[in-house]
A and B are shown apart, each in its own frame.
Chain A
Amino acid sequence: MLSFSIMEQIIIDELREVVDEKRIFHDPADLYAYGFDASIHHAVPDVVVRVNSAHEVEEIVRIANHHVVPVIARGAGTALCGQAVPINGGILLDMTAMNEIKEIHIEDLYCIVEPGVIYAKLNDALSKYGFFFPPSPGSGDVCTIGGMIAANASGMRAIKYGATRDYVLGMEIVFPDGRVRFGSKTLKNSAGYQVERLIVGSEGTLGIITEATLRISPLPEKRAVALASFDNVVKAGEGVAAIIASGMIPSALEIMDHVCIQAVNNAMDIGLPDVEAILLIEVDGKEGEVRGSIKRVAEILKGKAKDIKFTDDEEEMTNLWKGRKGVLPSLSRYGEDRVSVSLADDMCVPISKIPYAIKEFQEIAKKYDILIGTYGHAGDGNLHTKVLINPKKDEEWRRAEKAVDEIYKAVQRLGGIASGEHGIGITKAPWINGDIETMEKIKKALDPNNIMNPGKMGQWKGSIISHLRYR
Chain B
Amino acid sequence: MIEMLEKYHDEMLSCTGCAFCKKSYYAYDFPEKESDYPKGKIMLAYGLYTGEIEEDMELVREMQKCTLCRRCEKDCPSLIKIADIIKASRFHLKTLLPEHEMMLKNFREKNNIFGEKNFEREGGKIAFFMGCIVNREMKDIAISLFDKMGIDATIIGGCCGYPLEKIGRKMETGIGKKLKEKGIEKVVLSCPNGMLALREYNPLHISQFVLSMNPDLKKGNRRYIYHDSSFLGRYMGIYDEPRKLIDSMGILLEFTENREMARQCGGEIEFRNAFHREAEEMAKYLIKEAKEKDAVLVTSSPHCYSHLKEYGDVIDLLQLLEENIK
Contact = CB atoms under 8 A, between A and B. Distances in A.
A32 B47 contact: yes
Interface stretch (B73-81, B117-125, B186-194, B252-260): B73-81
Interface in A8-51: 22-23, 25, 27-30, 32-39, 48, 50
A329 interface: yes
A329 B58 contact: no
Interface stretch (A225-233, A337-345, A401-409, A452-460): A337-345
Given A329-B79, A332-B79, A333-B78, A30 B58 contact: yes
Contacts of B23: 120, 141-142
A30 B40 CA distance: 9
Given A29-B59, A142-B20, A337 B33 contact: no
B200 interface: no
A84 B156 CA distance: 54
A202 interface: no
Contacts of A22: 32
Interface string A82-114: 000000000000100000000000000000000
A48 B13 contact: no
- Looking at chain B, what size class is its interface with the partner chain? 20 to 34
Given A332-B78, A471-B50, A50 B32 contact: yes
Which of B32, B75, B77 is most buried by chain A, counting CB atoms within 10 A of its CB? B77
B56 A38 contact: no
- Looking at chain A, what size class is its interface with the partner chain? 35 or more
A216 interface: no
A339 B9 CA distance: 12
Contact of B77 (A29, A120, A329, A339): A329
Given A29-B44, A333-B78, A76 B19 contact: yes
A332 B26 contact: no
Given A28-B53, A142-B26, A333 B14 contact: yes
Contacts of A342: 16
A94 B19 contact: no
Interface string B2-27: 00000000100110111110110010
B247 interface: no
A141 B20 contact: yes
Contacts of A328: 16, 77-78
A139 B18 contact: yes
Interface string A37-77: 11100000000101000000000000000000000000011
Nearest to A471: B50
Interface in A322-369: 328-329, 332-333, 337, 339-342
27 contacts: A27-B56, A27-B58, A28-B54, A28-B56, A29-B44, A29-B56, A29-B62, A33-B33, A33-B35, A33-B43, A33-B62, A50-B32, A76-B19, A76-B22, A77-B19, A120-B23, A141-B75, A142-B18, A142-B23, A143-B19, A332-B77, A333-B14, A340-B14, A340-B16, A342-B16, A392-B13, A471-B46
Given A27-B56, A342-B16, 13 more contacts: A22-B32, A28-B54, A28-B59, A29-B44, A29-B59, A32-B44, A33-B62, A77-B17, A118-B26, A141-B75, A142-B26, A329-B78, A471-B46
Interface of A: 22-23, 25, 27-30, 32-39, 48, 50, 76-78, 94, 118, 120-121, 139, 141-143, 328-329, 332-333, 337, 339-342, 391-392, 469-471
